[in-house]
Structure 1
Amino acid sequence: MGAPTEQTAADSRQDATEVPAASAPTPSRLARWRAPRRPRLWFEILLIAVSYWVYSLIRNAVPMQRDEAMRNADWVWQTERILGIAVEQSVNHTVNGVTWLIVAMNYYYATLHFIVTIGVLVWLYRRHPGRYAATRLVLFITTGLALVGFYLFPLAPPRLMNGHHFIDTVTVHETWGSMASGNLAEMSNQYAAMPSMHIGWSVWCGITIAMLAKPLWAKVLGALYPVATLVVIVSTANHFWLDAVGGLLCLSFGFAVSCAWYGRVSYRLPRLAPAPS
């Protein structure tokens, strides 16, 4: 009888040590959603494609309130004059005098906005998968808030204002492929200048590169990219200074939402993350 008794006691001790592990609380669904994880490639491609399609659809479906957009442009211009920052016209005329430079800026405005942003997303996905979802969320929130701005505050860009003598550099220099010229202009809402997503997206790219890239030259390029973008959007008369401020406000809100959801700024999350189950 003694041997079975010892075995029973041993089994009881083993069972007792296993109980806490078995009864350990499992992460809630919310905690699992908030935890960094390696993104699925097919899902990200589909998500970005659908999101940009929806963004373009909504942006271009916003009522083309030309008269209100012109009034708002006059108000912004007068506000900048009161603040002493209304130098867009001088910059526009000065840079337009250097043909090769303004043509390069026209193509910069029409192409890099998308190329660099997509490039940074791909780089994040490959090199920083644990930080990808949180950093991508910043971009999505920023863009979503901008759509609200386009609807509530239609704004004509300086190049379309009447009586203020801004130069429409795309039209003057016949920039090929621009959404602001030719038949393509009819496919894009020309009165969605506030906030500037060229600034919102470029600053997102710049901060991401500066925070996560290792080579110093990459960090410097990341920091210079939004500065160059600001010069371009003003020189080509596509935006006011205050449009850029609007873009920064949207981006700040995007970072705040991402930080609140993930519990810290996206760049402080682990670089790697487990694959989704």
Structure 2
Amino acid sequence: MGDTTVTELEDRTQAAAPDPVTASDRPPLLHRLRAPRRPRLWFEILLIAVSYWTYSLIRNAVPEQRAEALRNADWIWNAEHTLGAAFEHSVNEAVNSVTWLIVGMNYYYATLHFVVTLGVLVWLYRSHPGRYAATRTVLFATTGVALLGYYLYPLAPPRLMTGGNFIDTVLVHQTWGSMASGDLKNMSNQYAAMPSMHIGWSLWCGLTIFALASLPWVRILGLLYPVLTLVVIVATANHFWLDAVGGLLCLAFGYTVARLWYGALPHALPRLAPAPAPRRTLLPMRTLLPMRKR
């Protein structure tokens, strides 16, 4: 009778005690890093601030190489003429003749580049936390590879070309619209025009909105945003349209990085991050040992 009671107690103890945690119970580290998770606000703010500071520091530390940048601008301009698509000068002059329009574009160029990008990041954080990290990775990889372009291919914007007769719309209309114009020109590398991150970032915003927004008119606005940005960077003579192609290639690289790391494009990941698995407590060894018979 006593032996039967002891056996029943042993069975109950073993059934109630959780299994000990072993190394084989844990998913591989790489799998844990790739798994969608709820982003932490303080970490994301710190990451964005440090990353943008580092990006600006490196971008502006690249030697300006004025002579080479002007030679490259001439080459780009001649290449566009060869392709029969050198329309930047015509757009620049036409839009500049409408004061209210070009002034609005100057402020568009200076502000929406940051405002819309940060707005999309906040929207992702709040409404699509499971996709946030992957989509943010696309943006960061896109921006990171752009630094190689600034270093390897210094390029003057059209407004700084010698003999190009382009209008620097910020100077002419005395507006604040470019970190490389007027009194702000010493704060930024003026010859970092290739690739255009105005296009890289705006296209990232547009594709993200189009893929994830639920309202049709919002999705359409998402697609129109990079198109309008292209018009603005050309009209203000801050970029050639080939700079936009460079931004598109950088974005393609960013999506490739995210696809390889997460195993899917950001929009294909779950909208909500799965709840973290409950932590399993290591039990003392004496608890795991069978009860001794008395």
**SS state at 1:199 partner:** helix
1: CA distance, partners of 2:73 / 2:185: 19
**Aligned-pair CA distance for 1:216:** 1.3
- Relative to structure 1, the CA distance from residue 272 to residue 67 in structure 2 (aligned partners, 3 Å threshold; closer, same or farther) is same
Going from structure 1 to structure 2, the CA distance change for 1:147 and 1:275 (only over 3 Å counts) comes to: farther
- Cα distance in structure 1, aligned partners of 2:183 and 2:174: 12
Q: 2:121 matched to which residue of 1?
A: 121
Counterpart for residue 68 of structure 2: 68
Task: Identify the residue that residue 253 of structure 1 maps to in structure 2.
Answer: 253
> Which amino acid in structure 2 is aligned with residue 207 of structure 1?
L
TM-score normalised by length of structure 2: 0.87
Give the corresponding residue for 2:34: 34
In the alignment, what sits opposite 2:219? 219
Q: Which residue of 2 aligns with 1:193?
A: 193
1:1-277 superposed matches below 5 A: 4=4, 7=7, 11=11, 25-176=25-176, 178-274=178-274
Distance (Å, rounded) in 2 between the aligned partners of 1:183 and 1:99 = 21
Tell me which moved more, 171-180 or 260-269.
Answer: 171-180
User: How far, CA to CA, are the matches of 2:40 and 2:156 in structure 1?
Assistant: 40
Change (3 A) 1:11 1:21: farther
Give the match's secondary structure for 1:63: coil
Cα distance change on mapping 1:154 and 1:127 into 2, 3 Å: same
Shift of 1:143: 0.2
SS of the residue corresponding to residue 226 of structure 2 reads: helix
Give yes or no for contact 1:159–1:167 (8 Å, CA) kept in 2.
Answer: yes
Over residues 120-171 of structure 1, what are the superposed CA-to-partner deviations in whole Å (9 max), with x where a residue is unaligned?
0011111111100000000000000001100000000000001111111111
Distance 1:251 1:149 in 2: 13
How has the CA–CA distance of structure 1 residues 153 and 27 changed in structure 2, closer, same or farther, with 3 Å as cutoff? same
5+ residue gaps, structure 2, are 280-294
CA displacement at 1:4 relative to structure 2 = 3.2
The alignment's C-alpha RMSD in Å is 2.3
1:106/1:23 Cα in 2 relative to 1: closer, same or farther (>3 Å)?
A: closer
CA shift, 1:206, in A, is 0.2
Instruction: Indicate conservation of the 8 Å contact 1:88/1:240, yes or no.
Output: yes
Letter in 2 for 1:221: L
**Corresponding letter in the other structure for 2:116:** V
Query: Conserved in 2, the CA contact under 8 Å of 1:175 and 1:181?
Result: no
Count the aligned residue pairs. Answer: 274
Q: Partner amino acid for 2:238?
A: N
Whether the 8 Å CA contact 1:73–1:161 is kept in 2: the answer is yes
SS in 2 for 1:77: helix
CA contact under 8 A between 1:62 and 1:150: conserved in structure 2? yes
CA–CA distance in structure 2, aligned partners of residues 180 and 4 of structure 1: 87
Identity %: 71
Q: CA deviation at 1:274?
A: 3.8
Is 1:38–1:130's contact at 8 Å kept on the other side of the alignment? yes
Point out the more displaced range, 66-75 or 174-183: 174-183
Runs of at least 5 residues in structure 1 that lack an aligned partner in the other structure = none
**Distance of aligned partners of 1:171 and 1:266 in 2 relative to their CA distance in 1, 3 Å threshold:** same
Which residue identity lines up with residue 36 of structure 1 in the other structure? P
Deviation at 1:177, TM superposition (A): 5.7
TM-score for both structures, normalised by structure 1: 0.92
Code of the aligned partner of 2:121:
L
Deviation at 1:50, TM superposition (A): 0.5
> What secondary structure is seen at the aligned counterpart in 1 of 2:249?
helix
Contact 1:234 1:241 in 2 (8 A): yes
| Higher gyration radius (CA) | 2
Deviates more, 1:24-33 or 1:82-91: 24-33
Whether the 8 Å contact between 2:110 and 2:176 is mirrored in structure 1 is no
- The aligned amino acid for 1:79 is A
User: Which aligned runs of 4 or more in structure 1 are off by greater than 4 angstroms?
Assistant: 5-8, 18-24
Q: Distance in 2 between matches of 1:49 and 1:6?
A: 63
